Structures are given as C-alpha cells and as structure tokens.
Amino acid sequence: MLRRLLSYSFAVVALGTLCGLPMTPLHAQRAKLPRTVAGKPDLNGIWQAMTTANYDIEPHDAKPAMALRPGPVVPIPAKEVLALGAVGAVPAGMGIVVGGEIPYLPAALAKRNENRENWLTRDPEVKCYLPGIPRATYMPFPFQILQSEKAVFISYEYASAVREVYLTNPGPPETDSWMGQSDGKWEGDTFVVTVTGFNDGTWFDRAGNHHSEALKVVERFTMIGPDHIKYQATMTDPQTFTRPWSIELMLYRHVEENARLGQFKCVPFVEELLYGRLRKTPIKP
Amino acid sequence: MNRTKTMMTRMAFVVAGITMMSATASAQGAKATAPKPRKAAWVVPRTPDGHPDFQGNWSNGTMTPLERPAGMGRALTPEQVVAMEKIRADTVEQLAKQSDPNRPAPPKGGDGSTGAAGNVGGYNYFWIDAGDHMATVNGERRSSIIVDPVNGRVPALTAAGRERAAERLRAYRKFGEYDNPENRPLAERCIMSFGSNAGPPMLPNYFYNNNYTFVQTKDHVMIMTEMVHDARTIHMRPVARLPKPIRPWMGDSHGRWEGDTLVVETTNFHPEQLFRGASDNLKVIERFHMVDANTILYRFTIDDLTTFTQKWSGELPFIKMNQLIYEYACHEGNYALSNILSGERAREREAAAKPPKP
C-alpha cells in the first residue's frame, strides 16, 4: 500500500514537473517561514488542532455517546446524555499516540478503564477545570501564541487557561499546578518546551487517560509552513507508564480575516452541575 | 490624626465583606519590589518595532483607595503618609503573628471582628498582600486614585443611571444572598478577580495578588491578570470590533500608540462586568506610560454619559516586580462555594426544625 502511495506521489511530482506546475518541497516551505527579528520561526498566531483526540488520544471507533449503559442488544447512551442524540455521539479517530497505544503499567491501565466507566463524574473537562498539557493543545478550541524577543505566552480559549513559557529557566517548580511550569528553548528551528510541576488532576482526553504528578512533558513546536506547526510531545511518568511515549499532531493557523481568540469562560456554565443541589430551591431533574 | 487613624484602620480592613475562597498556588510570595531611585541615564526600553517595552511582571497593589476620603486633599502631606503607612505596618505586624495553637474555638457567631482575617478565623495576614504604600504619581503621594472630578469621587449618577441602580437593587432583593450560586459575588464563584483587578479599568483589590504579566508582539499587547488567570489581548492592528451580541468579560480592547503612550479603548463589556453600574455603552480608555525603569503610570477614563453625569478619570502606578507569578487555579479548588451554600441550607433546616414561638 505504502509503495503504491509512494509511486503515486512520484507520478504526481513527475506530472507537475512536466506540466511546469510550481512544486513546493518541504525545505523550500521552511525557508519561507515567517521569522522574528532574531531569526526564529514566528509562532505568533491563532492555532487549532483538527483531530478527535480530545475524545480519545488512542485510535477509536465512533460510538453512540461518551457515557454508555447496557442495552437489551447493544450498549446505549447513559440516561444523563441520552437527550443529546447524535450531537452527543463520539466520532471515530486515528488517535495521536505514536504507535497507537499508551504503555500503561497494569494498575494505571486499570485506573484508566475505571476512569472511562466513570467519565461523567471524573473528567476534569466536564467540570471546567484547567486542561493541563498536552490536552490544552488539541481540545476543540483555538489558542493564541504570543511570541516576542523576550517572552512566549500561550492563551487558550478553553477556560481562559494561560501559561507563560519561560525563556530563562527559573529552576525547579516551587509548587505543583494544573498547567505545569513551562521552560522553553530553541533547538534550531524547533521550539522545545519542557513542562514539569504538574498535579495529578488533569487527563489527556475524555477517555480517562491519566498521569501522576511525576509527569514530565517535552513538547516540540516545529513550523513546517507559514500556517502549519507540527506538534510533538513526549510523556515521561514512571509511576504510570512503562516507558516514555509520544503524541504527534498538526496545528493549523486560523487564516481567516479578523481571526481572533474567543472567550470560553465555562465556570458559570457548570454551576448548576456542581452546586445546583445546594440551591435554596433545587431545580427538579 | 485621630480621624486619619480611624480611616486607615477601616482601609486596613477593606477586605471586610470579601468572603473567603479557595485559591491554590497563588503568588503569596510575590510582593512588589520598592521602586529604585530614578537614574538620570535611564532610557525607555524599546521593542524591535520601536515602541516602549512594558514586558514583564507588574503590581498595582497600593493603599490608596479609589475614592478620596472626606476632608483630604489630592496630595497627602509627608506626615499623613508616614502616619497612614505606619498604621498599616503595625496592623500587618499584629496580624502576621503566629496563631496560638492552644487558642479556644471562636465564640459562636464569630468574635465580632470583620474581614477575611477575623470573625470565626480565616486568613492570617501571611496570606494577605494588600499594598503597604500610598500611591506616588509625579512625586505626589495620592489620597485617591480618582483625579477627575477634582474632589476625587465617582461623579453623581444620571437619572437613567439611578433608575438602573434601583432596578439592579430590586433584582438583587428578589433573592436571599445565599439562595443560589448566582447570588454570590463573581470572585467567590472564581469567575473574575475581586474588585476590578482585571478590569478594565485595572484597579487594586486591596487584598492580594495585584499582579500582572505584560507581553508585547507586533500585533498585540497581552495583559494577564493573576486573578483569575485572565489574559486580555489588546489588538494593535486594525481588526473588526466585536458585534454587539459578543460581550467578553473584559470587553473588546483595541490599542494604538500616541508617541510613547499606549492608548487602549475597550467596549462590549460583559453585562455582569459593567464597572460601577455602567450601561452597555460603557467605554473605558486606558493610557500606559513608562516613567522610569520600575514604574508605568496608568491612567483611565470612564466614558458612559448615560450613567454618570460626567466622564471621570483616575491614575495610579504599576510597579515592576522581579518575581514569578504562579498559577491562580481558583475554581478547581473552590470548596468554599459549596460550603457557603450548604451552610445556609443547614441553617434553614435548623430554623425549620425549631418549634414555633408561642
């Protein structure tokens, strides 16, 4: 199959050359990257992943709902999400985990499966909690990279999450946090960010994939064209995984005129869920 | 002097009425550094495109209140400043003492003191960083942030403004203050900072974490307010203004340079974030000007003549801080809101269980 694809692309290249169409090989695209005054790739912009990874970073088939219960014939949507119909269904996805599977330790795998069974009550996204890294990158919301000669700052639409990527390492994190402490440096044209100091509260997706507070994430932002960033992240967490593992996905620039980051401050949206039972007159279900 | 002292004691406890909330990993260690003496050789740092470079972390914590207390002039005398700052320092010293581990439980209903540090026992002063200096602007020590009108007070409301205030009060009184989560203040719900920290206008909260991060790119100026990790992105290139139905919590900010002054106009405020009872027409104009290596002079004008009988303006310094700002994850640890509501439900159950008075 791969050979057939390769020969097909050779044929396209040959055809393009024959017809005199301009071809844009990767190195030529890289040469045209937007660059800062200091000559680094200019990552400024509004970016978004186009993937179903936030449902499940592993390869997954479509299913009727995030939360299921046994039906007489096949599983059916749990009653909490039934009314959403097709809107609440899960689209299939190839996943973003390199190699397809997260190398869990046995106990951590059991916890993942338990998380999955209890998705509605356990997923931090359901409660509008800060998303952590790398999940913030591929949630179904854009984010904005603000890059100057002195600073790199990422502002996320979801939950108004933020992180400053320190260009001068301030030393080990003084406290744990949801978004971690990000230390960035350039390796050639790749911006490499090491994130440590996490708590164990964030997940990787809506499928219960989790980590401990020992997690270290090394992210690599590589611009492969003016409007595309290849994003790779390697997770190391010996309390949860048998070995380091990686994800890989593409980030797309919002190129539309007047593109801007919206605001999704979801805290007020989950107050009924979190506190509704404590109202003076609780709303009847 | 006595009068000053009373006022300052009140200001020291301006945290009264702010209900405690849970906040993890806030920047308690991050106090503003004192401004260094101005060097004659100081030149404005500039970004590659030639504009003043405000990047870094800043604090607008101060003791100076928004409105001028009665009987004071705009400029405080050195004696007044010394007296006020001493009262604050003494209060801090008193409240920062170690708690006595053998102290008895506070009396039922609280000890009568107010504020987050008092009553039934809350924060001790270790957690509080309310500002310990009166603001200095152009060498003048200020009694209020408001400078226009000249009396340093928020101007009177228009008839429409008064009607809207009355309507808000009627809506507020339809509920008890603990009936629903929506009846609690925004800060307690972890939606926005105390007071108008994120603004605009960006004002001190007289409590803690009055800290900001500025990042400047060629197209944007981003200001992140520590509480509640709110990044406001100011558009420096022409971008269509938001349509009327879109009203972000901190509005829609568009900036320009007037010489070395950054001027920002903000409209489209969220309906629950209209400063001091302003209308949907509220426009806030902010001006940022770096006056020395450690100071940005921040000026703002409130433009809403449907609410206030005149435009009004204030000014205060943002002081450079050479410390990190930590994550202010508020909602994630907000046990307090559940506890506040369930406490009231428990009180209602107790009241209902009491036999009726004969």
Q: Which residues pair with B267 in a beta bridge?
A: B252
Q: Distance, in angstroms, between B94 CA and closest chain A CA? A: 28
Instruction: Report CB contact under 8 Å: B240, A258.
Output: yes
Torsion of CA B270, B276, B277, B281, to 10 degrees: -60
A26 band by pLDDT with thresholds 50, 70 and 90: low
Spatial neighbors of A262 by CB under 8 A, at least 6 apart, are: A141, A142, A157, B246, B248
Instruction: Report CB contact under 8 Å: B178, A280.
Output: yes
Instruction: Report CB contact under 8 Å: A160, B228.
Output: yes
Instruction: Report CB contact under 8 Å: A155, B233.
Output: yes
pLDDT tens per residue across span B58-83 = 999 999 999 999 999 999 999 999 99
DSSP conformation class of A23: P
Strands B136-137 and A181-187: unpaired
The vertex-B325 CA angle with A179 and A184, nearest 5°, equals: 55
Of the listed ranges A12-26, A181-195, B54-68, the one predicted with least confidence: A12-26
A2 band by pLDDT with thresholds 50, 70 and 90: very low
Burial of A280 (0-12, 13-18, 19+ CB in 10 A): middle
CB < 8 Å to B181, chain A: 271, 275, 278-279
B296 contacts B35 by C-beta, under 8 angstroms: no
* Interface residue A46 vs chain B (CB under 8 A): no
Q: Distance, in angstroms, between B312 CA and closest chain A CA? A: 29
Burial of B248 (0-12, 13-18, 19+ CB in 10 A): buried
Instruction: Report CB contact under 8 Å: A271, B189.
Output: yes
Burial B291-326 (b: 16+ CB within 10 A, else e): ebebbbbbbbbbbbeebbeeebbbbbbbbbbeebbb
CB < 8 Å to B26, chain A: none
* Interface residue A148 vs chain B (CB under 8 A): yes
- The mean pLDDT value for A187-195 works out to 98
Q: What is the pTM of this model?
A: 0.88
The encoded tokens of residue B323 equal: 């410390």
What residues of chain B score a pLDDT lower than 70? 1-40, 109, 114-122, 357-358
B301 contacts B311 by C-beta, under 8 angstroms: yes
A261 contacts A242 by C-beta, under 8 angstroms: no
